[in-house]
Amino acid sequence: MTRLDTKDALASLYAEIEYRNPAQPEFHQAVHEVLETLAPVLEARPEYAEAGLIERLCEPERQIIFRVPWQDDRGRVHVNRGFRVEFNSALGPYKGGLRFHPSVNLGIVKFLGFEQIFKNALTGLGIGGGKGGSDFDPHGRSDAEIMRFCQSFMTELYRHIGEHTDVPAGDIGVGAREIGYLFGQYRRITNRWEAGVLTGKGQGWGGSLIRPEATGYGNVLFMAAMLRERGEDLEGQTAVVSGSGNVAIYTMEKLIALGANPVTCSDSGGYVVDDKGIDVELLKQIKEVERGRVSEYAERRGASARFVPNGRVWEVPADIALPSATQNELDAKDAETLIRNGVKAVSEGANMPTTPEAVQLFQSAGVAFGPGKAANAGGVAVSALEMAQNHSRTSWTAARVEEELDRIMRDIHTTCHETAERYGAPGDYVTGANIAGFERVADAMLAQGVI
């Protein structure tokens, strides 16, 4: 089959996927981004196409949707919708977070689960891809309300998960508090202390050190590896970071540790730019303890910081950019602004935060671009390390976990870089990540037959 025939076949498959999965634009975007890079692989390995691997890879093994009824503190009954998409288990048990946010729907969960297949494959740690969540909004809810919601959610989810089947973790809206409530209900229902069924647990009861920091730390390590490839390092680089949640906060913390200067943070109300560099401890107090807004950071930080309501964080000139909030937050106009201001490298801390048009602009301008499925794999990597600790009922030191994380992120960078070169796309980390992840999953699926 020629390159043109292969591209035509992939275009036809994509059209069929769009037809069979209507009104799921994020899922369509994620699938298209992968498919458009696979033509050279299918030419080199025609057995992948003959076995229908791509068709099987794009269809989840299982999609679970369920009702989640719960009562608020006033006794009013609410009904939310819960999801778990178990996408692919060729490499190991399904692994991926739970997201509690009003925007959650089946298409969002499928996009996240599809990305998770390749991200998890790149870690080399034997975990499959899945994702879940609910359209429940935890903001403004009391601890008691969140507990009742989590208990209701787990009352259905428990029958679909297990340490050898599906291991959820946290995501947007699901942190240590929610994982604790979910684990408690799982233990109550099953009468089993199955520590490996959830990751992101508290450190005193089966959690891993460095897990909260892992996604942000890993993203910075991937950024550092891209810069090293170009003969540079992070020392003295000005960084623009979006978001103010877990990923953003620990991205900033690691940037500072490695000599860079993050000057921004953001939330849905706008962004802060701090000329002295973000005070991470103050931001942690406001966002993690007080659950406040970034505007409060600017008020308490002093003259060096200012809050820009409803602005675009990408307006701030910087050497490097690390989008760490949510999907499609950085568009083509933002990319043009960053390029005009001299950005050298972009590394995705969130899942698919950069639109396809923006990615193309970065690549055309020679900006190093680290896609989320590679750059933010540190979180799931340490989740898998947490599973390993749970299995042996041991707890590793922070130094050991961080050493493992550093090794894994370096390996992911090397794998993506070398794969891109092998397929004639040097420096294209998107192509490298897609193909490397695909090959690992595809080989496992071939070996296991048509299932």
Q: H or E stretch including 108? A: helix 106-123
Burial of 36 (0-12, 13-18, 19+ CB in 10 A): middle
DSSP states of 284-331: HIIIIIS---HHHHHHHH-TTEEEEET--GGGS--SEEE--S-TT-B-
Helix (H, G, I), strand (E, B) or coil at 272: strand
- C-alpha to C-alpha distance for 199 and 418, rounded to whole angstroms: 31
Classify residue 207 by its DSSP letter. -
Residues 266, 267, 269, 271, Cα dihedral to 10°? 0
Helix (H, G, I), strand (E, B) or coil at 77: strand
Candidates 420, 443, 14; CA nearest to 229 is: 420
Helix (H, G, I), strand (E, B) or coil at 169: strand
Contact predicate 135/81, CB 8 Å: yes
- C-alpha to C-alpha distance for 141 and 337, rounded to whole angstroms: 38
Q: Which residues are catalytic?
A: 131
Strand pairing class (305-309; 320-322):
unpaired
Beta-strand ranges (E) seen in 105-160 are 128-134
